[in-house]
């Protein structure tokens, strides 16, 4: 609770030790993970730790829209725009009423469209598609099924 109080005092870096302690004792504390991830991304510029927080949220609550959206933001910050677009499309399917997700998706798609006009060898284009797995952010029913062959 001290971390939540410090959040109200606009002293985010002071919150980190308390939030880490909270997460150690309650690893599925979504609000604490959101706060910690936000501090890592916005104040400490530590994208690796922010990603860990958001992935942890999704481990405990796979359909947590805020955690998923924030993970998508990490991909945008890393300039992994193809991965960010897939992530935001997934988030939009999970929460179609959340307008901000649709707006952010349109921004990322516009940036990706511009990057796709660059030569394939352009560093910006390579970075946009780095680590991209088209199946990472698909609902189970959207994944291609592999029919097992019958043995003769």
Q: How many other β-carbons are positioned within 10 Å of the β-carbon of residue 31?
A: 14
CA dist 104 and 144 (Å) reads 27
pLDDT in tens, 41-90: 999 999 999 999 999 999 999 999 999 999 999 999 999 999 999 999 99
Which residues have a Cβ under 8 Å from the Cβ of 1 and sit 6 or more positions away?
Answer: none
Is the predicted pLDDT of residue 152 greater than 50, yes or no? no
pLDDT band at 145 (very low <50, low <70, confident <90, very high): low
Check if the beta carbon of residue 24 is closer than 8 Å to that of residue 60.
no
Which residues have a Cβ under 8 Å from the Cβ of 70 and sit 6 or more positions away?
Answer: 34, 37, 38, 41, 50, 54
Is the predicted pLDDT of residue 132 greater than 50, yes or no? yes
Residue among 102, 90, 76 nearest 142 (CA):
90
Rounded mean pLDDT of the chain?
Answer: 89
For the chain, list the domains and their CATH numbers.
1-62 (1.25.40), 80-137 (no CATH)
CA dist 18 and 2 (Å) reads 7
């Amino acid at each position: 609770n001290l971390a939540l109080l410090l959040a109200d005092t606009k002293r985010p870096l002071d919150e980190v030790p308390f939030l880490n302690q909270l997460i150690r004792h309650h690893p599925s504390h979504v609000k604490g993970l959101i706060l910690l991830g936000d501090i890592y991304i916005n104040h400490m510029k530590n994208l690796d730790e922010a990603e860990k927080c958001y992935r942890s949220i999704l481990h405990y609550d796979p359909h947590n829209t805020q955690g998923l959206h924030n993970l998508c933001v990490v991909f945008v910050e890393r300039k992994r725009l193809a991965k960010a677009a897939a992530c935001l499309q997934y988030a939009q399917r999970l929460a179609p009423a959340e307008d901000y997700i649709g707006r952010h998706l349109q921004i990322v798609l516009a940036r990706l469209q511009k990057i796709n006009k660059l030569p394939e060898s352009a560093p910006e284009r390579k970075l946009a598609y780095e680590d991209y797995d088209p199946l990472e952010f698909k609902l189970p029913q959207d994944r291609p099924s592999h029919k097992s062959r019958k043995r003769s």
